[in-house]
Structure 1
Amino acid sequence: MSMSVKAKHDRGCLVVSLCGELDLKTAGELKATVDPALLEARTAPTVVLDLSGVNFMDSSGMGAILGRYRTVSQMGGKLAVCSLTPQLRKLFELTGLTRIIPVFASQDDAVVGLQGGE
């Protein structure tokens, strides 16, 4: 299966919505969308990854998210994920990513939360 990636700006945040499978074959699409936007950022970037449409994620997908988190953090910015399905929430909890990457219930909660310093 494939994945679609859509990016938009919302109140100063880059919001990236993912739909489909985030795995070894598709992780590059996430990188190809987010990384150029980070290079263009003049200030510390604020990024929200909306995972509501992700129906499968493997370790490559998690690695792609963690890699974007590290890049954003090194730039002095913030990255969060939102709208996790119950399956993805369990995966994030089991792997400890919820202790590293902020998780919000919705896009709006994430945008407001990141701008308010969480």
Structure 2
Amino acid sequence: MIVDLPAARTARVHRADVPCPRFHCDVWQEDGALALAPCGDLDIAALPVLAGPLCLVCPPVLRVHLDLSATGFMDSSGLNFLTRLQNRCALAGARLEVTGLRPQHRQLLDLTGYRLFVPAGL
């Protein structure tokens, strides 16, 4: 899958009460860093969209930043994605940073006993 990487980061404006019309994931890559910013519900329908960005986690990437602030809902498919992302980062020797965790994300992580093996932003 080919992922077009925009040359410059564009502003994302989302309101918490208005879901994205379709799931998408903005991707930025520069100087050994990869930023992933999914938008919409992180469920089973989102996994094919995330397959391309997941494949970008390999050397020479040293740091991966996952911003979940525009992801309103996450289910077990989201946990599957987080696990796969953590594994890819470990194999690549990249540091994973997760920011933008919402209350529903934290509740799901707590209920399942899932632990992010990364520094999670508050």
**TM-score category of the 2 structures, normalised to the smaller one:** 0.7 to 0.9
The answer to whether residue 20 in structure 2 is matched with residue 3 in structure 1 is: no
**Structure showing greater Rg:** 2
Equivalent residue pairs, number? 102
Structure with the larger helix share: 1
Summarize deviations over 1:9-36 as a string: whole Å, max 9, x none: 366421111110111111121221231x
The answer as to whether partners of 1:31 and 1:68 remain within 8 angstroms in 2 is: no
Structure with the larger strand share: 1
For residue 21 of structure 1, the aligned residue among 33, 38, 41 is 41
Give the direction of change, closer, same or farther, for the CA distance of 1:99–1:62 in structure 2 (3 Å limit). closer
Q: Quick one: higher RCO (CA 8 Å, sep 6+), 1 or 2?
A: 1
For normalisation by structure 2, the TM-score amounts to 0.71
Identity %: 29
Structure 1 vs Structure 2 CA RMSD: 2.1
For 1:71-90, list aligned pairs within 5 A. 71-90=88-107
Q: Using the TM superposition, give the Cα deviation of residue 56 of structure 1 relative to its aligned residue in structure 2, in angstroms.
A: 1.1
Give the direction of change, closer, same or farther, for the CA distance of 1:88–1:76 in structure 2 (3 Å limit). same
- Which consecutive unaligned segments of at least 5 residues does structure 2 have? 1-20
Cα distance in 1 between the residues matched to 2:72 and 2:96: 21
- Which consecutive unaligned segments of at least 5 residues does structure 1 have? 106-118
Cα distance in 2 between the residues matched to 1:84 and 1:11: 25
Summarize deviations over 1:65-118 as a string: whole Å, max 9, x none: 21011111122111121111111122223333345232113xxxxxxxxxxxxx
Opposite residue 26 of structure 2, the aligned amino acid is K
For residue 57 of structure 1, the aligned residue among 49, 60, 74 is 74
For 1:38-117, list aligned pairs within 5 A. 38-39=57-58, 41-42=59-60, 45-105=62-122
